[in-house]
């Protein structure tokens, strides 16, 4: 991993709603080509941080640098360029309900680019096949899809412009364990083929153990710890401890070295 090449770097972020401070002096780096798992107790502001990076939430203070550009200082043109390099999979898919799956995938293509219709159709089918959906789903409406298919279709839309960074908000929530494992594999596979950087907000311990290269833990209004899963297991933070070594986590097969590291403590 190219540790010195942060694709997203967040510095001193402060976000508050009214008197309620959600994030305070938060720092976070995401490196090119990695899958970052982002965890934290419910209500600690994982989504707020995600939305701040995406520019959906105003922040009171701080600096967000994406692809080497400070998002507060760039021109509208550059902002569009940066937006084109980012894809988002929202928690509930957020597919446009009045468009078919194919049209959903083509929305970013239509908005940003002028591509011939035939090519757009082919690319939409290709993206669907890449995320493991059959091309037959292309002409269906989101309301006709199952939960897992909606996640996949939404991922296909997030990938429509071949972004550098993909943000996933709880990608495996609401999927059965097999579907969730497949989705994890899919994300790892896409990262390897397309060279994606993945920022994944999740509660799924299996995802964290299997695909995440690094994990960042949000708590107490900032990033408590960031590091590999082994480092997580060694951490002394009470919340991190109970999260990764709680009753639910214990059942997960750990790599030998981490298990030993765990037992030593």
Partner 1 sequence: MANAVHTEKNTPEIDALPLGRTVAKPRLETRQNAGLTEVIFEGVWATYSVGSIDQQMRLLENKLSGERLRIEMSDISYLDTAGAWMIYRLLRSAKVRGIEASIDGMRTSHKVLLEAIARAMEDIDEDDSNGTRASILNRMLSTIGLAVYGFRNDLQMGLHILGAAVRGSQMKLGHGSGLSIPAVVNQIDRTGVTAIPIILLMSTIIGAIIAQQGAFQLRYFGAEIFVVDLVGILVLREIGVLLTAIMIAGRSGSAITAEIGSMKMREEVDALTVIGLNPVGVLVFPRLVALVIALPLLTFIANLAALAGAMFVAQTYSGISPDAFITRVRDAVDLSTIYAGLIKAPFMAIIIGIIASVEGMKVGGSAESLGARVTASVVKSIFIVIVVDGAFAMFFAAIDF
Which residues here bind partner 1, judged by CB under 8 A? 1-2, 32-33, 67-69, 77-78, 80-82, 84-85, 97-98, 109, 112-116, 118-119, 122-123, 125-127, 129-130, 134-135, 141-144, 159-162, 164, 188-189, 191-195, 213
Dist CA 88 CA 91 (whole Å): 9
The residues that bridge with 227 in the sheet, in sequence order, are: 215
Residue with tokens 């609401």: 174
Minimal distance in Å, beta carbon 36 to partner 1?
12
Give the residue among 225, 186, 175, 241 at the shortest CA–CA distance from 37: 225
In angstroms, what is the minimal distance from the CB of 55 to partner 1?
Answer: 16
Query: Which residue number, 127 or 221, has a Cβ lying nearer to partner 1?
Result: 127
State the DSSP H helix or E strand holding residue 258, giving kind and residue range, or none if neither. helix 256-264
Taking the least distance from each CB to partner 1, the nearer of 25 and 111 is 111
Give me the sign of the Cα torsion angle 84, 32, 181, 90.
negative
* Nearest residue (CB) to partner 1, 24 versus 96: 96
Nearer to partner 1, 126 or 181 (CB): 126
Spatial contact of 189 and 212, defined as CB atoms under 8 Å apart: no
The neighbour count for residue 95, using CB atoms within 10 Å, is 24
When the beta carbons of 5 and 25 are compared against partner 1, the nearer one is 5
- Three-state secondary-structure class, residue 4: coil
């Amino acid at each position: 991993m190219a540790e010195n090449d942060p694709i997203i770097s967040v510095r001193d972020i402060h976000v508050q709603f009214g008197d309620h401070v959600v994030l305070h002096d938060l720092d976070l780096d995401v490196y090119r080509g990695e899958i970052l798992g982002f965890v934290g107790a419910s209500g600690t502001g994982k989504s707020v941080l995600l939305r701040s990076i995406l520019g959906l939430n105003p922040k009171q203070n701080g600096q967000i640098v994406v692809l080497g550009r400070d998002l507060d200082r760039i021109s509208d043109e550059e902002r569009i360029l940066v937006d084109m390099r980012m894809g988002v999979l929202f928690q509930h898919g957020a597919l446009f309900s009045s468009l078919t799956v194919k049209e959903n995938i083509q929305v970013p293509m239509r908005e940003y680019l002028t591509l011939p219709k035939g090519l757009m159709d082919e690319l939409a089918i290709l993206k669907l096949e890449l995320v493991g959906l059959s091309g037959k789903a292309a002409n269906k409406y989101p309301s006709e899809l199952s939960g897992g298919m909606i996640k996949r279709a939404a991922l296909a839309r997030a990938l429509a412009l071949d972004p550098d960074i993909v943000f996933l908000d709880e990608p495996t929530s609401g999927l059965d364990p097999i579907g969730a494992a497949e989705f994890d594999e899919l994300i790892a596979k896409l990262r390897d083929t397309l060279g994606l950087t993945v920022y994944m907000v999740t509660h799924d311990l299996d995802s964290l153990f299997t695909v995440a290269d690094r994990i960042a833990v949000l708590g107490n209004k900032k990033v408590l710890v960031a590091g590999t899963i082994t480092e997580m297991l060694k951490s002394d933070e009470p919340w991190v401890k109970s999260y990764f070594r709680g009753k639910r986590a214990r059942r997960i097969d750990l790599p030998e070295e981490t298990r030993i590291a765990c037992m030593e403590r």
